[in-house]
């Protein structure tokens, strides 16, 4: 996300960023230009990273050369948009900044590979006297070098939105998409103080996606399980085909499109459910569980399939736009083995196999996940108001 805004906002206003995803239908010449740009971005990234490592070994100092250094030895870099190459330099610089700031959470930048890394490039919009370098038309979008590329927009930008940059990517199935980033000034949202009645506690649940403190469950459909028969059929066809043949390539394309369809269904559910919760509640409390660790502990099921981590991020920014907080409780808080009625903390861990348990002190029978959601809500409210009191006293 851009660090500085080009729009001067008035008093009581903040900058808001919105993204529109559009499907691109480039011509053969435009598609070839996109492919060359993808390759040039990988080339620039790998050479800048290699030179940075060599310079650091020789001088013990950090330095990243600019893309202009490589244009003499690689004239093909002049055929693509220069903004795409500049953005690769900015991305690599940002990758090193976050790595030096927090190496425990951000890894060292790696070299890019054509087979594993996503094909994409980013270009910024610059406004000159003759006009902007990137703008949308009735049925397309104008980009540097490529000209007007035919596109299908799900929605149009609102009045006052300023186009900041565009990112073009190619999916595994061979489709082209562009992400158009706009910025605009909006009225700063008023801070909403959460109350117990208007706060929702959520607990991640593998069979139900999440369980709320009021007993509500999302029960998201398991798209991958529903499509297992189709995937298994395509895989059996691939095993009987000769790799490299035309039928093999068609089956691989069908397999990729099926996985892409499942990912789109998952993304659609996450955005709709997070929007519904953000509009209905003043605050949401969740536990900061690591989905990768849960997937390693639980053998039956795939915790990464549901996309609960993405769900939390969608909740965060949608609540923030309305002035509502997303309260994240420490993931090591014993919410499952704590009685929500009397506060007793059990010494032993409650197994995933047991859906309910009885408190030995007060005798209350708890649903394991609903009880954990209640504790997440209580802990989140205590954490929020404790922080508020500390901030007001400071």
SS3 (DSSP) at 260: helix
pLDDT in tens, 102-158: 898 889 999 999 888 889 999 999 999 888 999 999 999 999 999 999 999 999 999
Helix (H) or strand (E) holding 349: none
Q: Cβ neighbours of residue 90 under 8 Å, at least 6 residues apart?
A: none
Rounded to whole angstroms, how far apart are CA atoms 394 and 244?
67
Rounded to whole angstroms, how far apart are CA atoms 36 and 160?
34
pLDDT in tens, 347-394: 777 666 677 888 888 888 888 889 889 999 999 998 888 755 544 543
Rounded to whole angstroms, how far apart are CA atoms 164 and 267?
24
Helix (H), strand (E), coil (C) string for 63-115: CCCCHHHHCCCCHHHHHCCHHHHHHHHHHHHHHHHHHHHCCCCCCCCCCCCCC
pLDDT score recorded for residue 394: 39
Query: Residue 111's closest CA among 87, 128, 127, 95?
Result: 95
pLDDT in tens, 247-276: 889 989 999 998 888 888 889 999 999 999
Q: Cβ neighbours of residue 260 under 8 Å, at least 6 residues apart?
A: 171, 172, 173, 175
Helix (H) or strand (E) holding 348: none
């Amino acid at each position: 996300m851009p660090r500085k805004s080009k729009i001067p906002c008035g008093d009581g206003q903040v900058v808001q960023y919105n993204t529109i995803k559009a499907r691109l239908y480039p011509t053969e010449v435009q598609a070839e230009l996109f492919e060359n740009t993808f390759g040039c971005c990988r080339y620039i990234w790998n050479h800048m990273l290699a030179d940075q490592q060599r310079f650091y070994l020789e001088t013990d100092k950090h330095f990243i050369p600019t893309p202009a250094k490589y244009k003499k030895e690689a004239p093909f870099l002049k055929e693509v948009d220069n903004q795409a190459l500049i953005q690769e330099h900015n991305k690599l610089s940002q990758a090193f900044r976050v790595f030096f700031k927090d190496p425990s959470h951000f890894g060292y930048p790696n070299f890019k590979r054509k087979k594993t890394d996503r094909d994409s490039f980013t270009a910024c919009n610059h406004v000159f006297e003759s006009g902007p370098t990137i703008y949308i038309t009735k049925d397309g979008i104008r980009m540097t070098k490529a000209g007007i590329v035919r596109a299908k927009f799900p929605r149009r930008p609102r009045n006052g939105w300023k186009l900041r940059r565009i990112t073009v990517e190619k999916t595994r199935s061979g489709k082209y998409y562009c992400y158009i980033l706009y910025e605009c000034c909006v009225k700063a949202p008023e801070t909403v103080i959460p109350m117990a009645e208007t706060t929702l506690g959520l607990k991640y649940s593998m069979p139900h996606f999440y369980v709320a403190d009021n007993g509500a469950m999302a029960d998201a459909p398991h798209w991958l399980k529903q499509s297992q028969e189709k995937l298994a059929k395509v895989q059996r066809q691939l095993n009987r085909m000769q790799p490299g043949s035309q039928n093999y390539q068609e089956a691989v394309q069908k397999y990729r499109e099926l996985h892409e369809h499942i990912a789109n269904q998952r993304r659609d559910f996450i955005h709709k459910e997070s929007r519904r919760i953000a509009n209905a509640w003043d605050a949401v409390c969740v536990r900061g569980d690591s989905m990768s660790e849960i997937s390693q502990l639980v053998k039956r099921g795939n915790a990464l399939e549901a996309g609960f981590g993405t769900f939390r991020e969608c909740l965060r920014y949608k609540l923030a736009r309305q002035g509502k907080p997303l309260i994240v409780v420490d993931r090591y808080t014993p919410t499952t083995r704590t009685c929500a009625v009397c506060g007793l903390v059990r010494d032993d861990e409650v197994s995933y196999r047991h859906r309910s348990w009885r408190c030995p002190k007060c005798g209350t029978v708890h649903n394991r996940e609903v009880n954990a959601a209640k504790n997440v809500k209580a802990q989140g409210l205590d954490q929020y108001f404790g922080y508020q009191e500390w901030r007001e006293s400071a």
